[in-house]
Amino acid sequence: DGGITQSPKYLFRKEGQNVTLSCEQNLNHDAMYWYRQDPGQGLRLIYYSQIVNDFQKGDIAEGYSVSREKKESFPLTVTSAQKNPTAFYLCASSMGRGLAKNIQYFGAGTRLSVL
């Protein structure tokens, strides 16, 4: 089955710890995205990547880092600089070209909590 896989489903972070959220897609999509979801605030863009080895900051990039070494993978690291990391994190991908380039497909999410 083609799709986007996020892992783990639940993650706990200790004070001062960096944690990494995994996002893998087998849709052969060029573009990938990370969003943060907080109650009542919709989804906010953290980082996005339109092509391998390139990525751009979104609206709330502070305290986060990403890499895009492979087309199918776009891991997100929540660093200790992110003081309020508790949220639901969603990864998405899109074709990046053609008429369907703006249609984003989402993974099932990772819920991050602070211990």
Partner 1 sequence: AQSVTQLGSHVSVSEGALVLLRCNYSSSVPPYLFWYVQYPNQGLQLLLKYTTGATLVKGINGFEAEFKKSETSFHLTKPSAHMSDAAEYFCAVSVPSGAQKLVFGQGTRLTINP
By CB under 8 A, name the binding residues for partner 1: 4, 6, 31, 33, 40-45, 48, 50, 56, 58, 88, 90, 92, 94, 96, 99, 101-109, 111
Least distance (Å) from partner 1 to the CB of residue 90? 6
Helix (H, G, I), strand (E, B) or coil at 39: coil
Residue 78 or 90 with smaller CB distance to partner 1: 90
CB nearer to partner 1: pick between 18 and 38: 38
Smallest gap, in angstroms, from Cβ of residue 21 to partner 1?
13
Q: Do residues 105 and 6 make contact, with C-beta atoms less than 8 angstroms apart?
A: no
Shortest spacing between CB 66 and partner 1, in angstroms: 15
User: Which is closer to partner 1, CB of 81 or CB of 100?
Assistant: 100
Judge contact between 34 and 45, C-beta under 8 A. yes
B/e letters for 13-50, b = 16+ CB within 10 Å, e = fewer, are: beeeeebebbbbbeeebbbbbbbbeeeeeeeebbbbbb
- The CB-of-32 to partner 1 minimum distance in angstroms stands at 11
- Using a 10 angstrom Cβ sphere, with 0-12 exposed, 13-18 middle and 19 or more buried, the burial of residue 92 is buried
In this complex, which beta carbon is closest to partner 1, that of residue 13 or of residue 111? Answer: 111
